[in-house]
Structure 1
Amino acid sequence: MSQHNENNSLIDDLIDNDEPETTPMYASSQAPQAPQVIEPQIPQPKSHMFQLNFYKKFFDLNTEDFFEKIKNAINPFNHQLNLIKEDDEEITELYGFFWITGTLIFLMFVSSTGSNLLSNWLHSKKDKEYEYNFDLLTISISLFYGYNLIVPFILFSVTTWVLKFPERLSLTKMVSVFGYTNILWFPITIINFLIVLLINNEKHHTLLNILEWIIVSISGVVTGLSNLSKIGPVLLKNLSLIGDVDPQRNYYILMGSLIFAHMIFTVLVKISFFGISV
């Protein structure tokens, strides 16, 4: 009896082994994936100066870079800047130049007008109403934007087409340097208010004028030194590369011209905002 049961189990195993293997129904029901279609990239047309998109690249700036440039401008002895025009970096942002210069113009107008109004209210015994000088805004716009655009452009023109520097300076980078340096003029707007509070303009007009000359001169020296420390090494390097007989002479001529232009600018700031009478 046991032998018969063993034979039946062997026959059942043989029958099970002969059955074909089947695959799950869902495996064959998967739909084939559609081939990916790669669309050809159409080159975008270049924008020109009459389109708004052309100026977008000049205002591409993040907060970290903005404060880093401010930190470099505050340090007048920091010359670790690359002012050379590179093929892969034709322009640099000008947002800081316009924003800082515009803010400075507003603060200078408020400081000059507010300090005169405060002096008239605190120290003047006359009942004469103060007359606002709104022409000061037009003068300040022309003065600050004019200087910070014209001087870099003249320097760029001389080094590019007259001296023919082998490593051309970047015009937008120089304008940006001049613009960020304007932040060093900001303290003068606060100091002017403090002087008016402490000194009577009618009784000590000469002393007040001398102090104004001092604070404007200090601000002018610091801003000028900040610009020269960043531009000077690049000028000297290029003058040495062009094989000039006396690169030091041309270097001093260029630096002296920048110093002279900045001195005139500083005097105009004093005259425009604080007067020159003694």
Structure 2
Amino acid sequence: MTNNGYDVVVDVDDDGDLGHTDLTPDLEFHQSNYNADTASGKIPQSSNRGGSSSFFPSGGPSSSGGDSSSGGKRYLWSFDFYAQFFDVDTAEVTRRCWAALFPKAMFLDVLEGNPDLYGPFWITTTVVLILFLSSTIAQYFARAKGVPYSYDFGLLSGAAGLMYGYTAFIPVALWGVLKWYGSESANLLECLCLYGYANLIWVPVAIASASPITILNYVFVGVGFGVSAMFLLRNLYPVVSATDAKTAKVLLIIMIALHAGLALAIKILFFAHGSPVAKDDGKKPDAMF
């Protein structure tokens, strides 16, 4: 018979035994729920969900209304992705606020690997409102006697642009520069968290700076600058020093210069009589510095 070029080879021993063919003892059958899962519409999932990064956690998929504790992926367009950055309670935020105002330990140690954006957002929002109210009160008492005062909501937009812009863009820029120079310890969320909690000192400073006494305003703003600058330097120095010595020195100088610019902007724009942010109606007295 023709085999189309193929030869069949069968190994037969002298007694005609084809060899061991009883495979029954080597077989083991297990129960499978594949048919049940298929009938119910479920798709079998693998238990290996991969690793996760410090800023973009990964895992199985989840919808915006799903349970984030199940280890699902959190997509940028889902609510769960942003909810993880606000996963703190009131007691924890209060503890972090005290640690920012009265630092005893490193603030990054206080965070315990769980930086948040809840505290920074509401602290910065509070600073914006207090700056508007305090500067409005200061200008009200500084107006000429008998001149009616009209509220200027340009102060509110100016405070929002200054504080939100500084708190958002400066940490992002710092993080980008550190990553460019190869710093492995730089974390964007921690940078945003540090700058947000550093703004807390401006709340009492803004309240106290409603005083019409100019020299006291300078003292209050100077104290706010010193406390917040030391807070940032203490916690960011280990991260910045991961770069070479020259780069670290330049970055620290730029950080201090930008923070000093913020303090001066707060003093001149909001607590100098006749603020440049406010509209000049020609009825207010000249600015006093």
Cα-Cα RMSD:
2.8
Aligned residues of 1:83 and 1:173 also touching (Cα < 8 A): no
Structure 2 partner of 1:213: 218
Per the normalisation by structure 1, the TM-score is 0.68
1:70 to 88, 92, 97: 97
Aligned residues of 2:99 and 2:110 also touching (Cα < 8 A): no
Cα distance in 1 for residues equivalent to 2:194 and 2:124: 12
Aligned residues of 1:83 and 1:170 also touching (Cα < 8 A): no
Structure 2 partner of 1:150: 169
Matched, 1:164 2:191: no
Give, in angstroms, the shift of residue 93 of structure 1. 1.7
Aligned residues of 1:76 and 1:225 also touching (Cα < 8 A): no
Give, in angstroms, the shift of residue 277 of structure 1. 4.0
* Structure 1: runs of 5+ lacking an equivalent: 1-36, 197-207, 240-246
Aligned residues: 212
Cα distance in 1 for residues equivalent to 2:265 and 2:105: 27
CA deviation profile, 1:151-205 (whole Å, cap 9, x unmatched)? 11111111102x111x231111111111111111111233234x33xxxxxxxxx
TM alignment of 1:1-278, pairs within 5 A: 43-45=60-62, 46-75=73-102, 78-81=105-108, 92-120=115-143, 124-125=144-145, 127-161=146-180, 163-165=181-183, 167-193=184-210, 195-196=211-212, 208-236=213-241, 238-239=242-243, 247-275=244-272, 277-278=288-289
Cα distance in 2 for residues equivalent to 1:218 and 1:104: 16
Give, in angstroms, the shift of residue 135 of structure 1. 0.7
Give, in angstroms, the shift of residue 48 of structure 1. 2.5
Give, in angstroms, the shift of residue 269 of structure 1. 1.0
Give, in angstroms, the shift of residue 221 of structure 1. 1.6
Amino acid at match of 2:147: K
- Between 212-221 and 145-154, report the one with greater CA deviation: 212-221
Larger Rg belongs to: 1
- The structure with the largest helix share of the pair is 1
* Structure 2: runs of 5+ lacking an equivalent: 1-35, 46-59, 63-72, 273-286
CA deviation profile, 1:85-142 (whole Å, cap 9, x unmatched)? x9xx6x732000101110111111111112322444xxx43x2111211011111111
- Between 176-185 and 213-222, report the one with greater CA deviation: 213-222
Structure 2 counterpart SS, 1:129: coil
Give, in angstroms, the shift of residue 249 of structure 1. 2.5
Structure 1 counterpart SS, 2:209: helix
- Between 171-180 and 38-47, report the one with greater CA deviation: 38-47
- Percent pairwise identity: 28
Aligned residues of 1:178 and 1:227 also touching (Cα < 8 A): yes
